[in-house]
Each structure stands twice: as structure tokens, then as C-alpha cells.
Structure 1
Amino acid sequence: MSLLSPALRLMLPAMLLAATAAVPARAQAPAASSQAPAAHPQAPAVGPSVTVTHAKTTEIVQSVLVSGSMIARDEVLVSPEVDGLSIIAILAEEGDKVVKGQVLARLDRTMLDVQKTQNDAQIARAEAAIAQANAQIAEADANLVQANNAFDRTKALRDSGNASAETFDQRSAAARSAQARASSAREALAIATADRALARAQGNDIAVRLARTEIKAPQAGMISRRTAKLGATASMLPSSEPLFRIIANGAVELEAQVAEVDIPALTLGQPVAVTPAGAKEALKGTIRLISPEVDKTSRLGRVRVALDGNPPVAIGSFARGVIETGRKQAVTLPLSAITYTRSGPTVQTVKEGKIVTRKVTLGLSGDGRAEIATGLAAGETVVARAGTFVRDGDLITPVATN
């Protein structure tokens, strides 16, 4: 008697058929999995990504940057040349252009006018004394001639015995007295002449002081500062502030500081582009003076740059200048691609994905690039940033810069 129910007996053939079909499928699975690696082979290992750049032939301009303040090339100080007089008029203001001899201010001359009147009287008195002395000399000379003639006659009479000794003595005394009066008249003339010369000298001094009551510009230029004030007393003391400051001929220049290492590249007459503070365009100038001295503390030297055409620039304002020291077409690299070692500058070139360090010789530098004088040709690939942690022979994946 069968133990299976009729339902199971009917399902058994189907279950056996499914089991038979499943066995080949499981047997084929390992074969399929063993063929998967052959369909997808692994890629070879590569180095890190490194940014690179290319050596280019470009125009390179080397320049030196300087900065400083605008100053007057020559500043003329206008001070009073007469002391103790008050200022009664101011005829020029800051910023005015003046010519040589132009009156800038006037001082009170009342006291000097009084002194001049007194001096004129002294001169007139001396001239009158001279005239009187000349008249006295003429009179004394006439009396002297008369006295000498009388004495000579008396002497002749005494020798012949016709004149007394008393008469002779009287005539002799009269002659000597006439001689003394003539000498006195001449001395009076000399004194009167000296008085007149002194009065005239005093008059000349007063005339000079009167002329100096007009404060004049000693040289043409532009007034940069005025300290003169109405009613103030003019003083000639060295500690006193000048009444006016004049920029001689309006010439303004840049007094700039420059690093001592850049001084050997500078020469007189080099063009300079000067940009004052707030200016939109640079002014043209040239190096006029290079100081032979370098500050021991700051290690900075000084240069003076004359501006072309004397443009109106505020004295004391800040300005910077760019001095071109070299210009050429050459193979260049960014400064970031150059490494500086004890043996000299080097670059890391890239050839077939490998790093090769190469020594180079540098030339001009400017605008963030440097001239490669020797050691590298145009078009070669180098690591863009020196100091990247790669060495000779390392494999890299070059990534070009834009």
C-alpha cells in the first residue's frame, strides 16, 4: 500500500523535473564568475596630479618701484631785510605765480620817512658848512698874503736899520696868525666834508631800508606757503618763520626711497613714471639725482626725479614711481616655477610624465615672470609651483594651467 496521497503522487514528477534543471545552472555559475576579470582588466597605477606650465617667449620688462613725497627742487625763503616794521599790505597769496622782483608785501615806512627828512637836513647843513669853510679859507689866504708881504717889508727895513725890533715882531706875529687862521679854515672844510659824507652814507642806508619795505620775490616761481599777516612785526631773527616760501621756477620733483640692492641698476636720466596720490594717470619724469649715501638703519637710498613740464602737484603729497631698468623678448617662466637653492636657481621639468630637475640661469624679471637665459627652451613643460613634493624620477599626472 502506498504511503503517498493521491495529490503528492501527482506533484512528484514535476518536482523531480525542476530539481534536474536546477543542477546544471548551479554548475555553470562558477565558470561565469571566473571569466569576469578577463572582461574588465585593472588600469596601471599613475602618480599624483600636478599643475604644470610652459616656458613662453614673451616681452619682459624689469622695473624698480620707488615711493616718496613731492618736494620743491629749489625752495626760496623770503624773509624781511629790515627789522621792527609792521606789515601793512599783502599782495600775493599761496598758489600765485610770481616773477622776479614782484612786490609780495609792504612794510610801514613812516619812521624811515622821518629819518630821511632829518638826513636831508644834515646833508644840507654839511654842504653849508663846506661853503662857509671855503669862504673862510679864501679870506684866510688873503690875510696870509697880506701879512707875509708886510713881514717881508719890515724885515728888509730892519736889515737897513729903518724899522724897529718891535715893528718887526708885530709883523712876524701877524704873519704866523694869518697862517694859523688859514690852516684852521682848511680843517673846518675837512670836518664839514666828512660830515657831509657821513650824512650821505646815512642817507644811502635809509634809502636801502626804504626800498626793503617792499618785500619782493628774489626769483620767479610759485608761492607754496605764506606766513605773513597784516599788522605783524617783521623780524630778521634766524628763528623767525619766512614770510613767503617760493618754489623756484615752479619745479617740483619726487624725492623717493629705493632699496640699496636696486641702486646699481639706476642711472641719471632714466625715465620714470610718477603717479601722485589720487592721480589717474602717471606723469613723465627722469632721474635727476642719485644720492651717494645709504641709510645705515633702513638700508634705503634716495633718488630725485624731475617731472617734465613742471605739472601742478601738491608739495608734500605721496607719490610712487616706476623706473624701467630693462626690456627684451626672451623665454620666461612664472616666478612661482623657480626654486632657489645654494647651487643656484632650478626648475622641475616634466618629460613623459616624469620629473627632471634642471639648473637654469636667470636674467630680467618683472610682472611676476623671470627670463630664463640658459637651461630651458620655449615650449618645455615645468611644474608651475616650485616646492611641490615631487622629486627626480617621480611619475605625475600633468594638469595644465589656463
Structure 2
Amino acid sequence: MEYEAKAIGEEDRPALTGPEAPARRRRKWIVAAGLLLLVAIVVGFLMSRGGGEAPAAPEGGAAGNSQVPRVTVMVPGRESVQSVVTGTGSLAARREMPIGVAGEGGEVTRVLVEPGSWVREGQVLASVDRSVQAQTAESLEAQVRVAQADARIAQTELDRSQQLVGRGFVSKADLDRKTATRDSARAGVRVAEAQLAEARARNRRLDIRAPAAGLVLTRSVEPGQIVSSGSGTLFRMAMGGQMEMRVQLSESDMARMTVGVPAEVTPVGSTQTFRGEVWQVSPVIDPDTRQGIVRVALSYDSALRPGGFATARILSGARAAPLLPESAVLSDAEGNYVYVLDAKNQAQRRSVTVGEVSDAGVAIADGLAGTERVVVSAGAFLNPGQKVDPTLRKTGG
């Protein structure tokens, strides 16, 4: 019975070789593959976390050095820097001569010069009609001849009386009267000659003449024009052709000006520069504009036209100061500054006062002694106290 029951129990268990066997094997493989995939994912995750962390570099190692910025520095020293004052102003004749009618005037008959003409002293610029004045002069010349004839007659009569007075034919009183007549006749000659000279002088003043040698700048008269002493200026001249620039400068710049310092003048619209020197510094300051006038003497040149506008660079002196390239000088709301390096190669901000700015660089008027190591490049990317790797540049580089 037991054998039968056991046999019957074994028959009741599903057989592995039946139609369900392949399905069971597939399920086992799928479960095993899922477990293997899960294990692989876990292992890969753990490995990726462990490999992503770079080992810490030792302090002062190569990694630390790569983070220190490299900058260029220089020791500027002190150089002689020209102090240059720049200003604007107008060109003018250094000694301008307005010329008008000095005599009675009349109708202009000839104008002999044009603007731009060079004339000598006393040269006739224009002539005024003198037909009436010429007749007057001729009449006075005749009066002079009459007076001279009267004087000769008076002198002859006096000579005869002097010869007869010793014989008793002429009294002493008659001799005195003839002497007085002779003296009166001579005086009449002098009066007539003086009147003639006056007329001739008046006639000469009808010629409008150059008071000195120079350059004619303007002409305001034409033939046929009626002129008189009230006609105003007919010609304007520059004495000797000398020019000047009248530079307007601030009160502070005026204090640095002295007579004789060189200057360079460039007219507007021109690239040509003219050299001159300061010949006069105004003793007064305009109370409204707080500016003064510095007059720069210039030699004649056709490009220098009175009334034109120009700029001037006046060299007011020289001083010793550190000279830096423009890239070294930075600026912010607090003012101008540079970065200097301390003994530990750490950047330190230093406030400076900028002086002259030229093609050679920026002169530092205050804030640097010239012995510091000044950052000349990459300073805009630094912060105070930041350590840097400096590269020294020569001052002339």
C-alpha cells in the first residue's frame, strides 16, 4: 500500500519533460539575466563615483602654480618729462596797423595795393584827388617869390642908405626905417615859405601811405570813393609780416607760463605745425571766464591767416617723474591707481596722480617713487592682495 501511495504521489508531480518544461527554463534564464544586469549596474555606479574624484594636489604643486596669473611688471625709475600746456585761440598780426585818411580827404583816384601785398615804409597805398590843393600850393609858391623879391629890394635900399649915411645924405633915422623894412620883408618870405610847406604837407597827406614795412591784410577802399578823416580804417597791415597766436589758458596754467618758452601751433584744418615762443603773458585774468591770454610769436607763413583758429602746445618746463605706459594706469570711481607688487608678489593698489600724457606714456605726478614693481599688463583683472607670477620688463621696452 505504501508503495502504491508513493508511486501515485510521484505520478501526481508535474513531469519536467512535458510541454511546460521549456517555459519554465526560459523564466529561469530571464530571472538570472535580470539579476546579472542589476549587479552590473550597481558595480558600474560604484566605480564611476570612485573614479570621478581627482586626488588632491599637494600645496604648492603644479596644480597650484597653474592658478597664479602671470603679469608683466616694470620698475619705471624717474625720467625728465616735459610739462606741456595745451590751449586754443585765434591767430592775429603781432602788430596790426589800421590805416585811414590823415588829411582832409576827398575822392580816391588810385588804389595801388591788394591784400597780401608786401609794402615798404612810406609806400603809397592809395591817392586822393588833389586838384584844388595843387592850385593852392601854386598860389603859395607865387607868394613866396613875391616876398623874396620884396626882401631883395629892401636889402638893396638898405645897402645904398648905408653908403650915403656917411656922406650926410641919409639920416640915421632913415637908415633904421630901411633896416626895419628889410627885416619885415625877410619875415614875409619866411611866412610865405611856411604857408607853402604847410600846403605841400597837406597835399602829401592826401596820399595814403604805409607807416612801416609789412604785409597788407585788408583793403576797404575803391577808386571813386569819397573818404575823409571820419571814414575809418581803409587798410590793415601786419608790421613786418609778424604773426602771433593768442592762446586762452586757465588761471592755473597761466601761473606756469614764462616769456621765452617754446610753443608749437597747429591751425585748424592743417597738419602743419609752426614753431614759436611765448613773447607776452597777460598780467590780468578775465573775471568772467577765469582765463588769461598768452601771446605766442610766429614768423610769417601763408598758412597763418589772422582770424583763424588754432591749437597750441606750450612747453612750460621739465620735471623728473615716473613714466608708465597707459595700460598700467587704471581708473575707477575713487580715481586713478596702479598695482604694485610687494615682497611676496602680491598685488597692492596704489592711488596716483596723473601728470602729463604724451606719446611716450603717462607721467605720474604723485603716488610713486619710481622704485616699485608696477604691473603694466593684466592689471584690470587683479584684486588687491592677489598673488601673481611676475615677468620683469625693461623700462625702455
TM-score over 0.5 for the pair: yes
The secondary structure found in structure 2 opposite 1:10 is helix
Q: What is the CA–CA distance in structure 2 between the aligned matches of 1:6 and 1:296, rounded to whole Å?
A: 124
Q: Structure 1 residues 131, 365: closer, same or farther in 2, change over 3 A?
A: closer
Superposed displacement of residue 345, structure 1: 6.1
Quote the Cα distance in structure 2 between the aligned partners of 1:126 and 1:381.
97
Partner of 2:285: 294
Q: 1:199 aligns with which of 175, 192, 196?
A: 192
**Aligned sequence identity (%):** 24
**Do residues 116 (structure 1) and 111 (structure 2) align?**
no
Per the TM alignment, residue 95 of structure 1 is displaced from its structure 2 partner at its CA by: 0.4
Query: What residue identity is the alignment partner of 1:334?
Result: E
Deviation at 1:246, TM superposition (A): 1.4
Distance in 2 between residues matched to 1:357 and 1:235, nearest whole Å: 75
Q: 1:40 to 1:367 in 2, by over 3 A?
A: farther
1:356 aligns with 2:348: yes
The counterpart of 1:84, out of the listed 75, 93, 105, is: 105
Q: Which whole-Å CA distance do the structure 1 matches of 2:247 and 2:71 have between them? A: 39
How far apart, in 2, do the equivalents of 1:353 and 1:33 lie? 45
Q: What displacement does 1:71 show?
A: 0.8
The residue type equivalent to 2:329 in the other structure is A
Could you tell me how far apart the structure 2 residues matched to 1:32 and 1:94 are? 100
Shift of 1:350: 6.9
Partner of 1:377: 372
CA contact (8 A) 1:290 1:303 kept: yes
Aligned residue identity for 2:22: L
Return the TM-score normalized by structure 2.
0.73
> CA contact under 8 A between 1:333 and 1:369: conserved in structure 2?
yes
Name 1:215's counterpart in structure 2. Answer: 208
2:118–2:214: 8 Å Cα contact kept in structure 1? yes
Per the alignment, residue 41 of structure 2 pairs with 29
CA RMSD in angstroms, aligned pairs only: 4.3
CA positional deviation for 1:225:
0.8
Taking the aligned partners of 2:111 and 2:88, their CA distance within structure 1 comes to 37
- Post-superposition shift, 1:204? 0.9
Whether 2:292 is the aligned partner of 1:271: answer no
Residue 86 of structure 2, aligned match among 51, 65, 70: 65
Counting matched residue pairs gives 361
Q: Secondary structure at the match of 2:227?
A: coil
Q: Tell me, what secondary structure is at the counterpart of 1:294?
A: coil
For the pair 1:307 / 2:298, whether they are aligned, the reply is yes
- Give the aligned partner of residue 235 of structure 1: 228
Scaled by the length of structure 1, the TM-score of the pair is: 0.72
SS at match of 1:250: coil
User: d(CA) in 2 for partners of 1:221 and 1:200?
Assistant: 35
| The one of 18, 22, 25 aligned to 1:13 | 25
Which deviations, in whole Å up to 9, do the C-alpha atoms of 1:204-262 show, x marking residues without a partner? 1112123333332221111101112212233224xx32222111111112111123333
**Structure 2: which amino acid aligns with 1:10?**
P
Offset, 1:13: 1.0
**Residue ranges of structure 1 left out of the alignment (5+ in a row):** 150-174
Q: 2:322, 2:369 within 8 Å by CA — same for their partners in 1?
A: no
Of structures 1 and 2, the one with the larger relative CO (CA 8 A, separation 6+) is 1
